[in-house]
Homo-oligomer: A and B are copies of this chain.
Amino acid sequence: MEKVLAYLQKNQSRFIQELCDYVRFPSVSAQPAHKEDMNRAANWLAERARAAGLEARLEKTPGNPVVMATTGRRKGRPHYVIYGHYDVQPPEPFDLWKTPPFEPTIRDRKIFARGVSDNKGQHLAHLYAIEAYLKTNTELPADVTFLVEGEEEVGSNNLAAFLKSHREELACEAFVISDTGMPSLKQPALTYALRGLTAFEIKVTGPNRDLHSGIFGGTLENPAMALCQLLAQLRDKKGRVNIPGFYDDVKPLTKLERAEMSRLPYKENDFKKFLGVRELAGEEGFTPNERRSARPTLEINGLTSGYQGAGSKTIVPSWASVKITCRLVPNQSPKKIFKLAAAHLKKICPPTVKIEITEGHGGDPCIVDPTSDIAKAGLRALEKAFDAKPMLLREGGSIPILNDIKKIIGVDTLLLGLALPDDNAHSPNEKFEIESFTRGMQMAAYLWQELNV
């Protein structure tokens, strides 16, 4: 094990340079203009895996290719699959980035770039741990396969089919994913529950064209106002989502879980300052940590209507639209919540406008047993690498494919996240701490020992 750790130490600056190379690809899966960048990023990763000593290939899907890289299988040995994603969130708005999103910049031992924390840096840490075993001729106590996809940020729509068609090759003890977070570098964490997601868009249409607000204004519904009045009704005064049936399937938090959550570091003033708000908000009867991890939400992600340029244009706009995502908790179902929302919206929509509701991607919420042997091995690897006792976390984000892994491959997933709360995932100025990267590699190296004690 010393050789492995020494190798990681010795090659650190190369690893950082390579991570910088990797994040230069603008692999934005949501934007069709970046289609070719997806292939470039995937090819780079496959090449990197080969250099590490793995057999690597790209597998076509109806969307972006999947990178598969493996140590090879030897009979009688345990097998684990490490999942990651090489696609990234859109970088917009560009003007809020201090340095360009696809020109990685190191400041204060942090690497700034879109996708560096979510998720390129995290799965690369696992790859380098495997490289360290292979290049130092240290016996890797398990066979390992990397499965790195290019559609996580747009709902992993082709992954379930891929898991199905590769069921045999992917049969394993467990999946390992580093795509979650830890409260701080002194508080590593294993995540045992994630929120699910259902995304949808609403478009409300009034007149068949933008109309002169002087000549026609006052005689017909303004679709932007109709949309605002619809959306306003979706949240009540207690901060709850006001869709009948929305909370029906929510599994309540146990006393034990609430106690564990109350141990999480939380300083209200620091949190407010970090977010840049004067006051927090949220559902009555729950703490901020509960609200952001164990309670469902409905968030407006974007609003569009009428004239948005400089100055004014005196129109009644023809239409208005909104992008919404609901975060869901165990045991809510994305399909059911979408149906409830759509039915409610259609019911409360006034007859003066036409409403169209389009279902987007969805993902089930997920919860696993944090006391299993595999979970315990993960906790030990974290403790060794970070020199601190790890916490058990529920997280607010979503990894939709966890439920597919459970259903199709039949195994649980070990979530060993390396992102920090201020990494700005999905925001401008995303960063990844060099220490997260280096301790992450160590954790990934220890993991194979701990899993096979």
Q: Which residues of A contact B (CB under 8 A)?
A: 30-32, 89-90, 92-93, 96, 154, 181, 195, 197, 199, 201, 206-222, 224-225, 227-229, 231-235, 271, 275-283, 288, 291-292, 295, 297, 299-317, 320, 322-323, 325, 327, 350-354, 360-361, 395-398, 421, 424-429
Contacts and interface: CB of A to CB of B under 8 A. Distances in A.
A397 B301 contact: no
B312 A323 contact: yes
Contacts of A421: 215
A395 B215 contact: yes
15 contacts: A212-B427, A213-B301, A217-B297, A218-B292, A220-B277, A220-B280, A224-B231, A225-B231, A225-B299, A229-B232, A231-B232, A300-B320, A302-B307, A302-B317, A303-B308
Nearest to A296: B218
A90 B309 contact: yes
Nearest to A294: B218
Contacts of A211: 275, 426-427
A244 B397 CA distance: 42
A218 B282 contact: yes
Contacts of A280: 219-221, 352
Q: List 5 A-B pairs, minimum CB-CB distance, nearest first.
A: A208-B276, A214-B397, A232-B232, A302-B306, A224-B300
A96 B209 contact: yes
Interface centre among A354, A361, A427 (most CB of B within 10 A): A427
Contact of A209 (B201, B316, B350, B424): B424
Contacts of A351: 278-279
A254 B427 CA distance: 57
B215 A181 contact: yes
Contacts of A301: 213, 224, 306-307, 312-317
Contact of A396 (B154, B218, B277, B350): B218
Contacts of A218: 282-283, 291-292, 295, 297, 327, 396
A221 B300 contact: no
B426 A30 contact: no
Contacts of A297: 213, 217-218
A297 B307 CA distance: 18
Contacts of A304: 303-304, 308
B224 A303 contact: yes
A9 B306 CA distance: 41
Given A215-B425, A278-B351, A154 B209 contact: no
A40 B360 CA distance: 48
Given A224-B302, A231-B225, A396 B207 contact: no
A327 B217 contact: yes
A92 B360 contact: no
Contact of A425 (B212, B282, B360): B212
B210 A313 contact: no
A212 B424 CA distance: 8
Given A222-B299, A224-B303, A300-B320, 4 more contacts: A209-B276, A209-B429, A227-B228, A302-B317
